[in-house]
Structure formats: structure tokens, C-alpha cells
């Protein structure tokens, strides 16, 4: 009996091996370093007999890629990107303009001339390094602190200032808070305040691009390390990987989410460590180093266009307050801020690099600062004088067509204003 069953077992075994040989289905390796690989559908891994519990220090921290040192000197020559003089100067000019715009608009909020503002201090290198590595067709999903990207793309300071004032020249028609920019023409999706919501959306847009024939467009999605704690961030990482989307997920890790330091935001090795765990190509870069960011995004774009998502974590420091509604000295020291303003300042680093190459000097700097300042002050004065859009714009674009209920409500408002108009600021709004 025992013999018979072992013979039939052998027969069965032989049959199974031959059918396996003939089959085109490839099976994973069943051995790894002499250890047997388990065949659970959820993971392909070897069995071990030693119990080992992993924690955040089981792995080396992901290193920070750098091209320039703090003095703007290239560390290894082969890593220096081959960028045109004009491109380099455009990048730098955008940084200076951005700084000047931040300074003046921040002050104007303090004077009550605009309702709200958020500066970009300390993060200029990430903006310009990444923007220069993309093509104008690549779609940008931003969080709110990426104005350098928008400037480099070609959004004019006039457009940006109009948005902050919500005047009739704002393409968003004054409906959104300041700094919520967007431009269809420049492929910049309008910013919204809810954090991380743009992340799975960026992945969806990338999927749509992937399906177009001969696709050469990718999507870049910016988000802060605080936003990365939202559920939408996890959704985006996982969808991007499993659905193989041409998307670059660009994290600006500036150490703070309003008052919350990153030590209270996560306990792992930053955001970058989450990338490989989700099957995403990942790199961590020095976000104060414009050239390192440029290199990383250039490479990421190449990988993304093969429908493999890439996560970039750019390390930096939020030098300014979170917004005009925040006083950051309530939760961090002036010395700490000072260190990042002077020693690791991305604008200064990039400027020193350009000076070393003989592309920039004190004179050019002063002229540009003065020009930018004057231009912004003038633009603001003009923007301030421009009327806000007609109040009826409040009822447009809710839907493609205005539903009956909304038509009725608009009429109601019209009748109300006929009688009580003098109690409303109608003079600063456009008339029919």
C-alpha cells in the first residue's frame, strides 16, 4: 500500500514538473541564499528561524544628495549639470524676483492691503531647480509654497499680484484666498487649501497622460512633509506605484508644519523612506542646493516617463513664518532661523556659484533687486486700483450652466442690492 502510494506520488510529481517545464508561466525563484522562499501571495520572502523585529534604526538613513557646498562650490565636477548661461541666469532672476515679491507682499499684508500671504524664504532652490528640469507641458500640482516654479514657468508678477488682490484681472475671479494661483495656459493646476488632496489627483492626471499615444508629458506634485501625513498622501504613493503612473512626487521637507516640528510629524526616516516601501523609485536631495534638485528632477523625469513614479524628498528649512497669520518665534528660536538664513541659504549658494562662473556680480545684483522692487511696487499700486469683479461672478462657474435655483438666488441678490446697495462696497466692484 505504502509502495503504491509513493509510486503514484512520484508519477504525479513527474507530471507536475513536465507540465511546469512546458508552461510559459514563470515562477519566482524558490531559493534565496539557500533559504526557502515562502509562497504566500502577499510577499515573496525567505523563511528564517531567527526572530528579528525591525525598527526605524534597522536601516541606514537615506543619504542627502548634494552637488554644491555651502560656498557654492561644486563638490564633484562630474555632477555639475551642463546648463546654458541663460537658463542659469533665468533661474537666479526668478529667485530674486520671488524674494522681493515675498518681502513686499508680506509687508502689504501687515499694512492690511491684502488679506493673507505666505512667503517662500529658504525654499527657493527647490522651486527653481525642479522647475528648470521640467518641460512647459509637464503638469504642475502645487501645494501653495512653490511660487518660484510658477515664476519660472512664465507666470508674471502682475498675474500673481492680481490674484492676491482678487481684482477683475485675476483669472480666478477673486474667489480664492491670496497665493492660490493657477494657470491653464502654463499647465499649473489651481491650488486649493485642503492639504494633500492634489496628490492622488496628480496621479490620476499622470494616468491620463500615460494613456495618450507617444506620451512625453509627466506630472509633478509638490507637497510638504506635514501634508505627507494625510491619508491622501498614502493613497497617492500606492496608486502611483500599482497603476504605474508617470508622476514625480516632490516633497518639500522644511522641518515644520506651522508650529509642528517634523519630530512630531513622523518617527521614520523622513518621507523618503516611505518610497521604497511602497515600490517607488526614491531619492533624497539637499533642497538648498539648486543644482542637486535640478539633477534629481531631470533623472526623475526620465524614469517617470517609463511609467515608474519617483519620490523626491528635498530637505530644507522654512525660514519665514508659516503665513501672515503666524509668528514662528513662538515655537522656535531666532538663532535656529539665523543659521539657515546665513549658512545654508539657497539663494546665496546659487549666487556664489554664478559668481564663481563669472556670470554674476554685485552690480548686476543691485540692479536686479532695484528693478524687481520697483516693478512689484508699481504692479501693486496698479492692482490695488483695479476694480474687483462684478458681484454676479459669485454665481458663475459653480456649474457649467447655472441651475434654476442659482438663477433665482442671483435675482434675489439683485433685487436686494437695488434697495440696500448703499450698505455694500459696490464702488470697488465692476459694474455691468
116 binds other proteins (CB under 8 A): no
Q: Which residue among the candidates 39, 56, 73, 107 is catalytic per the annotation?
A: 107
Among 75, 87, 258, 398, binds other proteins (CB under 8 A): 398
How many whole angstroms separate alpha carbon 275 and alpha carbon 269? 11
Phi-psi region of 283 (alpha: psi -120 to 50; beta: other; left: phi over 0): beta
Size of the residue set binding other proteins (CB under 8 A): 46
Of the candidate spans 41-49, 84-92, 231-239, 353-361, the one that interacts with other proteins by CB under 8 A turns out to be 231-239
Q: 82-94 as b/e, with b when 16 or more CB fall inside 10 Å?
A: ebeeeebbbbbbb
Q: Which of 113, 173 has the CB closer to other proteins?
A: 173
Among 39, 73, 264, 397, binds other proteins (CB under 8 A): 397
Which cell goes with 227? 501634508
What is the phi/psi pair of residue 248, to 5°?
Answer: -105, 120
Confirm whether 115 is a catalytic residue. Answer: no
391 binds other proteins (CB under 8 A): no
Rg (CA), the chain: 27
Least spacing, CB of residue 252 vs other proteins, in Å? 20
Among 61, 63, 154, 231, binds other proteins (CB under 8 A): 231
Among 66, 103, 113, 176, binds other proteins (CB under 8 A): 176
Confirm whether 193 is a catalytic residue. Answer: yes
Among 66, 103, 175, 299, binds other proteins (CB under 8 A): 175
Q: In this structure, are residues 224 and 270 in contact, taking their beta carbons and an 8 Å threshold?
A: no
> Distances in Å between the alpha carbon of 102 and those of 284, 319, 361, 373?
27, 12, 23, 10
What is the phi/psi pair of residue 187, to 5°?
Answer: 60, 40
Residue with cell 509633478: 220
Give 147's Cβ-side CA count (13 Å radius).
28
Least spacing, CB of residue 119 vs other proteins, in Å? 22
306 binds other proteins (CB under 8 A): no
Of the candidate spans 120-128, 150-158, 193-201, 249-257, the one that interacts with other proteins by CB under 8 A turns out to be 193-201
How many whole angstroms separate alpha carbon 83 and alpha carbon 212? 30
243 binds other proteins (CB under 8 A): yes
189 binds other proteins (CB under 8 A): yes
341 binds other proteins (CB under 8 A): no
* Cβ burial, residue 279 (10 Å; 0-12/13-18/19+): middle
Confirm whether 229 is a catalytic residue. Answer: no
Q: Which of 145, 180 has the CB closer to other proteins?
A: 180
Which cell goes with 405? 435655483
Least spacing, CB of residue 107 vs other proteins, in Å? 27
Q: 74, 122, 309: which is closest to 224 by C-alpha?
A: 122
Helices 157-165 and 85-110 pack at an angle, to 10 degrees, of 20
Q: Which of 400, 420 has the CB closer to other proteins?
A: 400
154 binds other proteins (CB under 8 A): no
Q: In this structure, are residues 114 and 165 in contact, taking their beta carbons and an 8 Å threshold?
A: yes
413 binds other proteins (CB under 8 A): no
How many whole angstroms separate alpha carbon 380 and alpha carbon 17? 78
Among 98, 155, 164, 205, binds other proteins (CB under 8 A): 205
Encoded one letter per residue, x for contact with other proteins by CB under 8 A and - for no contact, window 65-104 reads ----------------------------------------
Interface residues with other proteins (CB under 8 A) are 139, 170-173, 175-176, 180, 182-184, 189-190, 192, 194, 197, 199-209, 211, 231-232, 234-236, 238-239, 242-243, 396-400, 403-406
Catalytic (active-site) positions: 107, 193, 322-323
Amino acid at each position: 500500500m505504502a509502495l503504491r502510494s509513493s509510486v503514484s506520488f512520484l508519477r504525479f510529481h513527474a507530471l507536475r514538473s513536465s507540465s511546469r517545464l512546458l508552461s510559459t508561466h514563470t515562477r519566482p525563484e524558490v531559493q534565496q541564499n539557500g533559504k526557502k522562499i515562502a509562497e504566500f501571495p502577499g510577499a515573496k520572502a525567505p523563511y528564517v528561524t531567527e526572530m528579528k523585529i525591525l525598527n526605524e534604526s534597522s536601516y541606514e538613513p537615506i543619504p542627502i544628495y548634494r552637488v554644491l557646498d555651502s560656498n557654492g562650490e561644486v563638490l564633484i565636477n562630474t555632477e555639475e549639470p551642463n546648463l546654458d548661461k541663460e537658463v542659469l541666469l533665468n533661474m537666479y532672476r526668478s529667485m530674486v524676483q520671488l524674494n522681493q515679491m515675498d518681502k513686499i507682499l508680506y509687508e502689504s499684508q501687515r499694512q492690511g492691503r491684502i488679506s493673507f500671504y505666505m512667503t517662500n524664504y529658504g525654499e527657493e532652490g527647490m522651486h527653481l531647480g525642479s522647475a528648470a528640469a521640467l518641460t512647459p507641458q509637464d503638469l504642475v500640482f502645487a501645494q501653495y509654497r512653490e511660487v518660484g516654479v510658477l515664476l519660472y514657468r512664465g507666470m508674471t508678477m502682475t498675474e500673481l499680484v492680481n490674484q492676491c488682490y482678487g481684482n477683475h484681472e485675476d483669472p480666478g475671479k477673486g474667489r480664492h484666498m491670496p497665493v492660490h494661483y493657477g494657470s491653464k495656459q502654463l499647465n499649473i493646476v489651481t491650488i486649493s487649501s485642503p492639504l494633500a488632496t492634489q496628490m492622488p489627483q496628480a496621479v490620476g492626471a499622470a494616468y491620463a497622460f500615460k494613456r495618450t499615444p507617444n506620451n512625453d508629458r509627466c506630472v509633478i506634485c509638490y507637497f510638504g512633509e506635514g501634508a505627507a501625513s494625510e491619508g491622501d498622501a498614502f493613497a497617492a504613493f500606492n496608486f502611483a506605484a500599482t497603476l504605474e503612473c508617470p508622476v514625480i512626487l516632490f516633497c518639500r521637507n522644511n522641518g515644520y508644519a506651522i508650529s509642528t516640528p517634523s519630530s512630531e510629524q513622523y518617527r521614520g526616516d523622513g518621507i523618503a523612506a516611505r518610497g521604497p516601501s511602497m515600490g517607488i523609485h526614491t531619492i533624497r536631495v539637499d533642497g538648498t542646493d539648486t543644482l542637486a534638485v535640478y539633477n534629481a528632477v531631470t533623472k526623475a523625469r526620465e524614469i517617470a516617463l517609463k511609467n515608474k513614479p519617483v519620490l523626491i524628498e528635498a530637505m530644507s528649512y522654512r525660514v519665514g513664518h508659516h503665513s501672515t497669520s503666524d509668528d514662528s518665534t513662538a515655537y522656535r528660536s531666532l538663532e535656529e532661523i539665523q543659521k539657515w538664513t546665513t549658512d545654508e541659504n539657497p539663494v546665496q549658494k546659487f549666487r556664489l556659484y554664478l559668481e564663481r562662473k563669472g556670470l554674476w556680480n554685485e552690480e548686476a545684483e543691485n540692479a536686479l533687486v532695484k528693478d524687481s522692487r520697483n516693478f512689484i511696487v508699481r504692479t501693486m499700486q496698479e492692482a490695488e486700483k483695479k476694480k474687483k469683479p462684478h458681484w454676479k461672478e459669485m454665481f458663475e462657474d459653480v456649474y457649467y450652466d447655472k441651475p434654476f435655483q442659482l438663477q433665482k438666488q442671483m435675482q434675489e441678490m439683485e433685487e436686494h442690492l437695488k434697495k440696500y446697495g448703499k450698505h455694500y462696497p459696490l464702488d470697488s466692484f465692476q459694474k455691468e
